[in-house]
């Protein structure tokens, strides 16, 4: 019998979990975009139709427990697998789930009572967007093997603490979960992949970057392998007050989850471990081709950094000159933190100017699409080497001139687009 979706659990756990109003709003926003949804729930996308969205049941990695690879509550990790077919049967798309973080025992205890901390509470997952099997809306990946790895550790798949919390019995083993899931998938055909992508959205974007080279090591015989981070490029802003949320979060998270030994030594040898959670400080050492899709005004990052300086003007569509200046300054910092365009074979980016969060799960179709110079996110992510139109820098765009109140989801004004050769010829 198919398990019932438990999207309502997310909300009950969040209400209990977050006492600070600002943090509650931020995490609600982040998890809402990744929750199990249906057409009647508040996060549902009105243009996702029944023929392109569907539930996939969970697969429990039972032998992970003996390896210490467990969720917060000690239950085994899980993923959802939709087998590929036809010409896509040898290709694999693996997505690491997002869904905020927990950085204290109290937060993690509440999280352990939800599907974001226990596989016992996980139902089937909603496959849509880049995971859709609808050829018309997802022509590049519709017939691939598609995997959605559930996020149940609260530490962005980075934890590797040997100890178990003596009071709560909580485990912090996200890094081990990643390894256990990959091992399980290798035995199900991943080891023979012709094409493979490791991706992650939101809080799952960081581990998609962190484990990119590890993914390459696990698949030495795969001809084409890339990684993609969607809406996970959270930057370390210069203003200490604006940086407070992420700095405090990552400092506490690294300490609680024992993440320091998982983070890149090339980074931790130069700076404090928590600073290596910011992609700008570690992405340059990733040797495997990496594609980044993000908004220059990512909704979660804006709320976490400069929300107090713009007073909700995006929602009111009435930003003052001072508020628009704050947005422009943030945008400038964000663009400067991106990979440089000096090695297009290893790095590609697609940056739009919308105040939204997570593109690949909901906006990966011709219906819901961000376009830049007639090139949209999906097309940018599958550009073939040597195609000039996939490497553009629009000098005529004037993102600093528009009011943030005009942000939408279709037919974007150009912000900055530099897509390298790396993104794809994934086709055979």
Identify whether 241 is a catalytic site residue.
no
Do the Cβ atoms of 200 and 208 come closer than 8 Å? yes
The per-residue pLDDT of the chain, averaged, comes to 79
Distance CA 212, CA 77 (A): 20
Q: Of all helices (H) and strands (E), which one includes residue 174?
A: helix 174-186
Choosing from 230, 298, 352, 415, the catalytic residue is 298
Share of the chain above pLDDT 90, in %: 61
What are the C-alpha distances in Å from 145 to residues 50, 319, 350? 20, 45, 24
Identify whether 357 is a catalytic site residue.
yes
Higher pLDDT, 213 or 13: 213
Higher pLDDT, 379 or 39: 379
| Secondary structure class of 225 (helix, strand, coil) | strand
Choosing from 112, 132, 137, 202, the catalytic residue is 202
> What is the predicted pLDDT for the residue at 317?
77
Higher pLDDT, 419 or 268: 268
Angle between helix 7-17 and 21-32 (nearest 10): 160
> What is the predicted pLDDT for the residue at 326?
93
Report residue 154's pLDDT band, with 50, 70 and 90 as the boundaries.
Answer: very high
Report, as an integer, the average pLDDT of 68-77. Answer: 99
Report, as an integer, the average pLDDT of 158-166. Answer: 97
396-410: pLDDT as tens digits: 333 333 334 333 333
Report, as an integer, the average pLDDT of 323-347. Answer: 90
What are the C-alpha distances in Å from 400 to residues 234, 275, 297, 410, 413? 20, 29, 12, 18, 11
For the chain, how are helix, strand and coil distributed in percent, rounded to 5? 35, 15, 50
Do the Cβ atoms of 166 and 64 come closer than 8 Å? no
Report, as an integer, the average pLDDT of 28-36. Answer: 43
Query: Given a cut of 70, is residue 68 above it in pLDDT?
Result: yes
Do the Cβ atoms of 154 and 117 come closer than 8 Å? yes
> What is the predicted pLDDT for the residue at 352?
86
Choosing from 236, 309, 356, 357, the catalytic residue is 357
Report residue 127's pLDDT band, with 50, 70 and 90 as the boundaries.
Answer: very high
257-307: pLDDT as tens digits: 999 999 999 999 999 999 999 999 999 999 999 999 999 999 999 999 998
Distance CA 377, CA 224 (A): 20
Query: Given a cut of 60, is residue 327 above it in pLDDT?
Result: yes
Query: Given a cut of 50, is residue 29 above it in pLDDT?
Result: no
Distance CA 380, CA 372 (A): 10
> What is the predicted pLDDT for the residue at 157?
99
206-228: pLDDT as tens digits: 999 999 999 999 999 999 999 99
> What is the predicted pLDDT for the residue at 215?
99
Do the Cβ atoms of 195 and 91 come closer than 8 Å? yes
Distance CA 290, CA 138 (A): 21
Query: Given a cut of 70, is residue 421 above it in pLDDT?
Result: no
| Span of 19-28, 76-85, 102-111, 300-309 with lowest mean pLDDT | 19-28
Query: Given a cut of 60, is residue 382 above it in pLDDT?
Result: no
Do the Cβ atoms of 177 and 157 come closer than 8 Å? yes
> What is the predicted pLDDT for the residue at 354?
81
| Span of 264-273, 315-324, 374-383 with lowest mean pLDDT | 374-383
344-366: pLDDT as tens digits: 789 999 888 888 888 776 555 54
Report residue 309's pLDDT band, with 50, 70 and 90 as the boundaries.
Answer: confident
In the chain the domains, ranked by start, together with CATH numbers, are 7-309+329-401+415-423 (3.40.50)
């Amino acid at each position: 019998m198919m398990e019932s979706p438990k999207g309502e659990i997310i909300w009950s756990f969040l209400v209990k979990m977050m006492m600070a109003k600002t943090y509650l709003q931020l995490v609600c926003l982040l998890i809402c975009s990744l929750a199990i949804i249906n057409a009647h729930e508040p996060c549902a996308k009105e243009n996702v139709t029944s023929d392109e969205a569907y539930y996939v049941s969970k697969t429990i990695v039972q032998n992970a427990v003996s390896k210490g690879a467990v969720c917060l509550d000690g239950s085994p990790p899980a993923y959802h697998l939709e087998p590929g077919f036809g010409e896509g049967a040898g290709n694999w798309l693996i997505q690491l789930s997002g869904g905020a973080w927990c950085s204290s025992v109290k937060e993690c205890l509440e999280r352990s009572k939800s599907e974001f901390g226990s596989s016992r509470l996980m139902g089937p997952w909603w496959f849509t967007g880049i995971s859709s099997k609808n050829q018309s809306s997802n022509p590049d990946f519709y017939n691939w093997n598609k995997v959605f790895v559930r996020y149940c550790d609260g530490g962005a798949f980075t934890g590797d603490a040997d100890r178990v919390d003596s009071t709560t019995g909580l485990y912090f083993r996200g890094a081990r979960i990643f390894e256990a899931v990959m091992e399980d998938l290798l035995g199900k055909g991943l080891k023979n992949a012709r094409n493979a992508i490791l991706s992650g959205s939101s809080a799952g974007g960081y581990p998609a970057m962190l484990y990119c080279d590890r993914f390459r090591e696990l698949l030495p015989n795969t001809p084409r392998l890339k990684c993609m981070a969607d809406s996970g490029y959270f930057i370390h802003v210069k203003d200490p007050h604006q940086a407070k949320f992420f700095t405090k979060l990552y400092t506490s998270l690294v300490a609680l989850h024992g993440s320091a030994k998982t983070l890149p030594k090339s980074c931790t040898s130069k700076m404090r471990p928590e600073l290596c959670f910011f992609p700008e400080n570690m992405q340059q050492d990733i040797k495997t081709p990496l594609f980044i899709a993000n908004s220059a005004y990512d909704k979660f990052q804006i709320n976490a950094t400069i929300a107090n300086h713009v007073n909700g003007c995006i929602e009111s569509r009435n930003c003052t000159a001072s508020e628009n200046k704050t947005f422009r300054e943030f945008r400038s910092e964000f663009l400067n933190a991106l990979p440089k365009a000096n090695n297009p074979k290893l790095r590609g980016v697609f940056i739009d100017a919308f105040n939204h969060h997570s593109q690949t799960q909901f906006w990966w179709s011709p219906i819901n699409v961000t376009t830049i110079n007639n090139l949209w996110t999906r097309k940018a992510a599958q550009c073939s080497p040597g195609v000039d139109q996939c490497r553009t820098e629009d000098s005529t765009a004037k993102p600093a001139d528009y009011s943030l109140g005009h942000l939408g989801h279709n037919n974007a004004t150009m912000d900055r687009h530099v897509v390298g050769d790396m993104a794809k010829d994934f086709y055979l």
